[in-house]
Amino acid sequence: MSSLWNNRISISIFGESHGPAIGVIIDNLPPGEYIDIEELGRFMSRRAPKKDGTTTSRSEKDMPQILSGVFNDRTTGTPLCAFIQNTDTHSSDYSNISKLARPGHADYTGAIRYRGFNDVRGGGHFSGRLTAPLCFAGAVCGQILERRGIYTGAHIAEIHNIKDSAFDRVNVSRQDIIDVRYKEFPVINDKKGAQMKEDIQNARMGCESLGGIIECAAINVPAGIGSPIFDGLENSIAQLIFGIPAVKGLEFGAGFMAAKMVGSQNNDEFYADEHGHVLTKTNNHGGILGGISSGMPITLNVAIKPTPSISQPQNTVDYHDMKNEVLSVKGRHDPCIVPRAVPCVESAVNIALLAHMLDYPNFS
């Protein structure tokens, strides 16, 4: 059940990094929704490796084959099944470490959990490769949401202490989201992006890796979406966000900065605009109060750890023979996961938003 998310919409992800294919089954999508296949491919390409040296050299098209749930480019309402073939695997890169616990990876914990029967090649089911079907599901949900005016967008907020400009939490617009969405390197300030890329290259040359922060915003989400306690909008988003390998932290709105404020600083004062819409002057709450959307932009920051696979000798153990060893990781790895994780964060938010929107009156 670990790879099944079921909350109005169900998302079931299957496959291993070096198996024949990976994929996803999406159930309970509304019927009759037009799916733009070309736009799906464009979204998926954002997660694909780049040719600028900032990502892995593993190269796969990642265009899913849809087996069911779509007919004449429209959802049927029955389970949508899509799979993506793995065509560029180098499994021999893992032959010498099948019983070695790579620091920062789930090799040891996975072996304990599954009694040593898990597929270790390329990380198996724990691999970042499994974010490809997540992106597919999120892209489908995103198209359904955008048809109703709801847009989700993300960018690299920070890599290794180099910070991009931030979204305006109160006034982030559709244009702000579109402007950054299909950039080769998704930042608002391209000069900062160039500095980030240089830092990533330096890390790669030094056999190191970098982490960072992704900022995401969703706009035009109506007030009243979500529920309190365990079925809150934040809860659903968080569960899906933490389904992305390498995520180590999440904050909404002002997040941890709220702990440094006094109440009068943190509270967002309400007012009615000239159109009779209830808004807040600030947006420290990140668009969600009591687990329910307020009508303000939903904003969140996601912390991504440095890629754990680095080409440096590291101390570890052979967990089969319980011996201390020194490991040198081979293979093709991203010196920084952050750029490719941007559409993954958007996808997680899209899935959560659509799931809760199905409860919204007159959603059609």
pLDDT value of residue 221: 97
**What residues in the chain have per-residue pLDDT under 70?**
1, 51-61, 88-98, 331-332
pLDDT value of residue 263: 96
Cβ distance 216 to 302 under 8 Å? Answer: yes
Euclidean distance between the first and the last CA atom of the chain, given in angstroms as a whole number: 30
- C-alpha to C-alpha distance for 300 and 234, rounded to whole angstroms: 10
Taking Cα atoms as reference points, which of 187, 184, 206, 207 lies closest to residue 195? 187
Cβ distance 195 to 201 under 8 Å? Answer: no
Name the pairing type of β-strands 151-159 and 162-163: antiparallel
Q: Which residues of 226-235 are buried (b: 16+ CB within 10 A; e: fewer)?
A: beeeeebbbb
pLDDT tens per residue across span 285-339: 999 999 999 999 999 999 999 998 888 899 989 988 889 989 877 766 889 999 9
Q: What percent of the chain has pLDDT over 70?
A: 93
Cβ distance 150 to 298 under 8 Å? Answer: no
Q: Which residues of 312-338 are buried (b: 16+ CB within 10 A; e: fewer)?
A: eebebeebeeeeeeebebebebbbbbb
- C-alpha to C-alpha distance for 339 and 47, rounded to whole angstroms: 8
Q: What's the burial of 262, exposed, middle or buried (CB within 10 Å: 0-12/13-18/19+)? A: exposed
Taking Cα atoms as reference points, which of 165, 130, 167, 166 lies closest to residue 151? 167
Place of tokens 């330096």: 202
pLDDT value of residue 332: 67
pLDDT value of residue 54: 62
Structural domains present in the chain: 4-357 (3.60.150.10)
Name the pairing type of β-strands 74-75 and 21-27: unpaired
User: 338-357 and 233-241 helices cross at what angle (nearest 10)?
Assistant: 140
- C-alpha to C-alpha distance for 319 and 42, rounded to whole angstroms: 42
Say how many residues make up the chain: 364
pLDDT value of residue 48: 87
Q: From the CB of residue 301, how many other CB atoms can be counted at a distance below 10 Å?
A: 22
Torsion from C-alpha of 12, 17, 19, 21, nearest 10 degrees: 50
Strands (E), the chain: 4-7, 9-15, 21-27, 65-68, 70-71, 74-75, 80-85, 151-159, 162-163, 212-219, 247-252, 270-272, 278-280, 288-289, 292-293, 298-304, 314-318, 323-327
pLDDT value of residue 327: 85
pLDDT value of residue 92: 55
